[in-house]
Amino acid sequence: MTKIVEAAVAGKKMEDPLQWVDARIGTGGHGHTFPGAALPFGMVQLSPDTFNDGWDWCSGYHVSDDSIMGFSHTHLSGTGCGDQLDFLVMAGTGEAKLVPGDRRSPEKGYRSRFDHADERMEPGYYSVLLKDYNVKAELTATERVGVHRYTFPASDKAYLILDLQHGYGPGDGPVTSAELKMTAPDTLVGGHKTSAWGKNRQAYFSLKVSKKPERIVFFSDDKEVPVPADGSQIEGKNLKAVLYFKTKAKETILVKTGISGVGTDGAAKNVAAEVPAWEFDKVRANAKEIWRKQISKISVESANATHKRIFYTALYHMSLGPTLYDDVDGRYRGMDSEVHQLPAGQHNFSTFSLWDTFRAAHPAYTLIERERVPLFVNTLIRMAEQSPAGMPVWPLMNTETGTMTGYHSAAVISEACSKGFTGIDFEKAYEVMMKRAMVDDYRGLGYYRKLHFIPADKEEESVSKTFEYCYDDWSIAHVARKLGKNDDAAMLTQRSLNYRNYYDSSTGFMRPKLEDGSFTSPFNPIDLGHSTKWRDYTESNAWQTTFGIQHDPAGLIKLYGGNEAFVKKLDGLFTAAPDLPANAPPDIAGMVGQYAHGNEPSHHISYLYVYAGAPYKTQARARSLMETMYSAEPDGMQGNEDVGQMSAWYLLSALGFYPVDPVSGNYVLGSPLFEGAKVQLAAGKVLDIVVERKDPSHQYVQSFSINGKPQQRAWFHHSEIVDGAKLVYVMGPEPNEKFGADEASLPPSLKLA
C-alpha cells in the first residue's frame, strides 16, 4: 500500500518518498554501501560491521555475511578503499570474549549470528536481532552522535563491549595508539590514531550509558588492567572496555556516543548539544523527518515501483557524503592535523571522493543542495591552504589519501564559480589552484607543462593523468576568466588540449608516448599498460580513455574527421568484445562492449553522441544503461557506489539530462525515465519536468521545450533552470534523427563561461 504523508509544501498530501528508499541496494555485489543510521551529510554513520578486511568490506558490511561483529560509528559509503569503522560497540550476555571471532565460528568471539529477515533498515534507523544473545539492537543518529538501544533478556551478566582496536584492515588492524578513561560511572571517553588508507588519522569519542554498570573492566592487549582511580587515562594500541549490567527481561539500555576529530571534550560537547536526554524514539523520529525532507527534494511520477525504489535510494546514497567534520563549537581538525576554529556560519566537511563525484554528484548538489555548495567549496579551499599535500585529491577526515589521478577539487570549486555561487573567496581559490597547475612538482605535472604530455616511461598512468590535468586546466580557466585574468584563461584553455598529443591516427586510439615522443609498442587497446612495470591508464584502457574528453568533444570529433566517423568509432566502443587483460582491476565492471559503467571514466561517454549530432543514439544508450546497470537488489550496482557518483549518474539520467562538462554549466539531454518530476531548487523555486508519451517504453525525444519555447538543441544551460523552469519532453517509439542534428544545435565545446 502506498503511504501518504502531509507534505511540507503548501499542506498538500503527497506520497511518502521514504517508502521507496531501500538501504539494502549496494550492500551486495561490489556496491560497498552500508545499511546503518546517519543523517544527510552527517559525521556519524552508525552501522553494523560484519567484517573489517577485504575489498568487498570497505564499508564494513556485506549482505553475504550471517554474523555481526558489532556497531561502529564511522563508515565509508561505496568506496573502493577501506578505512574508519571507529569505536565499535557490541552487546551480549555471559562472560565477554575480547576478540570478535571468525565469521565461520562466531561463538569463539563476541560476534553474533543474525538473519537478514530480522534486519530493519530505514533512513536514520537500523535494527537487528543478535541471535546468539537474544538481544535486539537498534541504532539511530544525529549529525555528530550515534544513539543505540539494546533490549536484553534477563541476565546477571549482560554487557556492552567497547573495542578501540577495531578498524578496517588485516591482522591487528590499523590502530597505532589509543587512549581510554572513565570520567563518570556511566561515561567513557578516549580516542585512537589509525593508519589504514588515511595515515595518522585521529578520532575521539565520548560514550555515555543510560544505566550505571555493575562494573567496568578495562583491557590492554586483551589483559585486564585496573581502571585508574584518579580518572587518568590508559594508553596502548589495543584497548577495550567491558561494561557489565544485571538486566530484567526486555530491559533496555541506551548508549549515546559523540565523535570528534578534535578531542574528547569536543565529542562530549556534541553529545550534550545534540542528545541531551535519553529519548531514543524522539531522536529516531527527528532523523526520519530530516530524511523525509531530504528525499522530498525530488519527486517523480511513475507506475514502475522498481524504478522509484532505485531512484529514491540513489538520492539517499547521494546524501551520505561528503560528511560533516566539525564540532558543535565550530572547531575542526585540519589537513595539517592542527585544530582550527571555523568562521561563524561555516561548516567543515570530509570524505570527498572527487575523482568520482565531480562528474555528476557535485553538479546535482548545485541544483538540490545550493546552501551546502559554498560550504563544500570553502572546505576544499581551506584544505588546499592547510594540507602539506596542497589541492585536495581524496581527503578523508584530517588526512589526504591521494587516491586517484588529477586534482578535481579544482573542478568542484570552478563549477561553483561558473554557476555564480556566492560567499566563496575565488581569489584565494585561484591562488591555490594555480600553485598546483603551474608550480607543484606533482605526479608528472612537470612533464605535462614541459612536453605537453606525460611520458609512459617516466610516470605511471601517464595517459589518464594527462587527460585529468587537461580537465583541471579547463576548470581553472573558468575562474581565471571570472576574475578577469584573461591571459591565464587563454593559456590554460590551450594547455587543456594536451590530450590531443596522444592521438594515434593509425590506430584511432589515444596511445601512450615515450619521452622521445614515439608511441609505445606493442599496442593493444584493451591493455592497461605497455609493460608490466605499471599501467598507462587509470582503471581503464585505450578504449575508455580515448573518449575521456569532457570539455572538448568537438575537438575529439575533429580528430576522427567529423561526426560520421566519430559516431562509427563510438558505436564500436559499445559493440567491441568485452575482453579485458588478466591484470585488469575489478573496478572495470558493468561492461557493454568496452564501455565500463561500473567505473567513472565511462560515465559521460554515452552522452557524447549529442555532440556529434546524433542525440537519438544517446537516448537509446542511456535508457539501456538505466535498465541494465541498476536493479532494486543488494547487488543492484555494477560497480562501487563511490560516495554518490554511481547513484548521481542514475538520478540525473532518469530526469533526462547529464553534465558531460560540469564546469561549463551545460546539461546534455538523454532519455527521461519517468512521466514527470519536480526538483526543489533554492528559495522555493521548482524545476518542473513534464514527459509526454503514450507508453513508458518510448525512449526517443521527438521534441523538447523550455518554458513553452520549442528547442532544436538537445542541451540547456544551468542558468536557464536554476531559478525555476518547465522542461517538456515529447517522447516516441522511434528516433527523431533530425532533433539536435544540425550544427547550430550542438552543445558548446571548449567555450569558457
Confidence (pLDDT) at 1: 45
Tell the CATH topology of 312-426. Glutathione S-transferase Yfyf (Class Pi); Chain A, domain 2 (1.20.1050)
Q: Is 691 helix (H, G, I), strand (E, B) or coil?
A: strand
Q: Quick one: which of 10, 8, 51 has its CA closest to 32?
A: 51
- Which DSSP string corresponds to 252-304? EEEEEEEEESS-HHHHHHHHHHH--S--HHHHHHHHHHHHHHHHTTEEEE-S-
Tell me if the domain spanning 4-294 has CATH number 2.70.98.10.
yes
> Where are the domain boundaries for CATH 2.70.98.10 in the chain?
4-294
Confidence (pLDDT) at 4: 45
Report DSSP state, residue 239.
E
My answer on whether omega of the bond before 322 falls inside 30° of 0, hence cis, is yes
| Segment 708-746, tens digit of pLDDT | 999 999 999 999 999 999 999 999 999 999 999 999 999
Instruction: Give the list of residues 6+ apart from residue 129 with CB closer than 8 angstroms, or none.
Output: 114, 115, 118, 135, 136, 137
Confidence (pLDDT) at 12: 52
| Segment 291-334, tens digit of pLDDT | 999 999 999 999 999 999 999 999 999 999 999 999 999 999 99
Report DSSP state, residue 430.
H
**pLDDT-wise least confident of 4-8, 114-118, 190-194, 270-274:** 4-8
**pLDDT-wise least confident of 164-168, 186-190, 401-405, 586-590:** 586-590
Residue with cell 561548516: 347
Inform me whether the pLDDT recorded for 417 exceeds 80.
yes
End-to-end CA distance of the chain: 48
C-alpha cell recorded at residue 225: 588492567
Q: Quick one: which of 578, 381, 542 has its CA closest to 467?
A: 542
Average pLDDT over residues 540-545: 98
| Segment 264-289, tens digit of pLDDT | 999 999 999 999 999 999 999 999 99
| Number of other CB atoms surrounding residue 738 within 10 Å | 12
Inform me whether the pLDDT recorded for 110 exceeds 50.
yes
C-alpha cell recorded at residue 729: 519532453
Q: How far is CA 457 from the centre of its chain?
A: 33
Per-residue confidence band for 65, with pLDDT thresholds at 50, 70 and 90 = very high
Q: CA geometry: angle at 363 spanning 358 and 365, to 5°? A: 110
Inform me whether the pLDDT recorded for 183 exceeds 80.
yes
Average pLDDT over residues 692-697: 97
Average pLDDT over residues 245-265: 98
Average pLDDT over residues 81-92: 98
Inform me whether the pLDDT recorded for 340 exceeds 90.
yes
Confidence (pLDDT) at 14: 73
Amino acid type, 403: T
> Where are the domain boundaries for CATH 1.20.1050.60 in the chain?
312-426
Per-residue confidence band for 458, with pLDDT thresholds at 50, 70 and 90 = very high
Per-residue confidence band for 3, with pLDDT thresholds at 50, 70 and 90 = low
Which run of H or E residues covers position 481?
helix 462-482
Average pLDDT over residues 358-383: 98
Instruction: Give the list of residues 6+ apart from residue 519 with CB closer than 8 angstroms, or none.
Output: 504, 511, 512, 513
Confidence (pLDDT) at 10: 44
Mean pLDDT of the chain: 97
Tell me the C-alpha distance between 547 and 543, whole Å.
Answer: 7
Contact yes or no for 234/223 (Cβ under 8 A): no
